[in-house]
Chains A and B, each alone.
Chain A
């Protein structure tokens, strides 16, 4: 019998994940962060505040850093998603990842994937950002260890290391 309320269902979600197209059956209520961690097994994406306030779950959606914990997975149909895992260049850390390591921009490490993803979005658009631009780009990401000074230094170092 037909009712007003649709039956629970999964949809086929097709998206480009770290450069490769893939398809998965995903419940329409599934959040992008859960899809990435539990289905695609990309656990570099972190669940921090769980409400879009801390930036630990940031991923690139069509090149823009966005919080995956308040994004419905099925709304990413046909889009390109990049996580911290996808930023690795030929099996080696990217210049941002190296700079965070070398300049001690990471301590406990929990916020680091989100920080690097947000920084990556910045450097793609603004290869030589001012400190103010770095601060603005990272304003959605919280770190409880570093005090941010080292993080900003890391991003600056990565920008300067660009070819």
Chain B
């Protein structure tokens, strides 16, 4: 039998303000939605909250609403429900493709949109059992002094591996954050910081409550590489949103995950706008990706492989989406 925590209390607020009040009342507590990331972390001794604030009863976090301005996706919507939604699958294809391929069917039935966006960063020296980390020496991300992946540096390179973020970034999503005083809304990209130890720009008592996607999205797609066809986190994941008119690119946004400590939008794609997608443009996109991703080695894949794989995925998706518009 597993001892998850010697002493754990689960709080069940019924609305967002109660959840935030509970979070403030219990220092070191954590919000829990699906629990597919957090419970595993607790089992590995990576997180030791004394109080869990269960978000599953909060109605405000549920539901997908469509309006003239676009879509509002509650942070508590499960990944399975998001993947099943017919309008998302038709108009926001990258989001549906990302949701449909996260972990396994059981995790998608439990895991939520907010949880996937706030997923902890991962590293081969971090996501291990307590005794493994103790035996090998703790790392910079938790309790240790050095980074075992890049020992000369003082920077944590743990990677963000959520699948939804790149798709939502490519489609220009915004997020709504609830705090004790007020709610704020900001572009999704501003939620993330390039720091494996603290990659979320959220205060402790802030809670992601919803994601907004603009109306009339361009065609989009998502693809990733991983070792096992299910469960595994991506070694690299790429989402592309591309609109074309009269044989030239009108807009192009590429979101990336799995390679850096945050998901990000590829810089420099505006150079492709106004041009057709030919071999030249595809090579230019590959170079941009290779330059901006910063993958570290894992036990099964070298950094170089992950860099090439990310570039190849971007190339394929851009090529396919452009061909689809012609």
Contacts and interface: CB of A to CB of B under 8 A. Distances in A.
On whether the two chains bind one another, the answer is yes
Interface of A: 4-9, 27-31, 34, 37-38, 50-53, 55, 58, 61, 64-67, 69-72, 74-75, 118, 136-137, 139-141
Contact of A139 (B1, B7, B110, B230): B230
Contacts of B230: 139-140
B40 A70 contact: yes
Interface residues of B, number: 35
Given A29-B8, A50-B43, A6 B51 contact: yes
Given A71-B39, A75-B10, A29 B104 contact: no
13 contacts: A6-B7, A9-B9, A28-B9, A30-B4, A31-B4, A34-B1, A51-B44, A53-B231, A65-B109, A75-B56, A118-B105, A137-B105, A140-B107
A67 B106 contact: yes
Contacts of B6: 8, 29
Interface string B24-68: 011100000001100110011000001110101000000000000
B39 A72 contact: yes
Contacts of A67: 106-107, 110
Interface in B69-124: 80, 103-107, 109-110
Given A4-B27, A52-B40, A75-B56, A29 B3 contact: yes
Given A29-B4, A75-B10, A139-B104, 6 more contacts: A64-B80, A67-B107, A70-B39, A70-B43, A137-B105, A140-B107
Contacts of B40: 51-52, 70
Interface string B10-33: 100000000000000111000000
Contact of B10 (A28, A38, A53, A66): A28
Contacts of A4: 25-27
Contacts of A72: 4, 10, 35, 39, 52
Contacts of A31: 2, 4, 39
Most central of B9, B51, B103 by chain A CB within 10 Å: B9
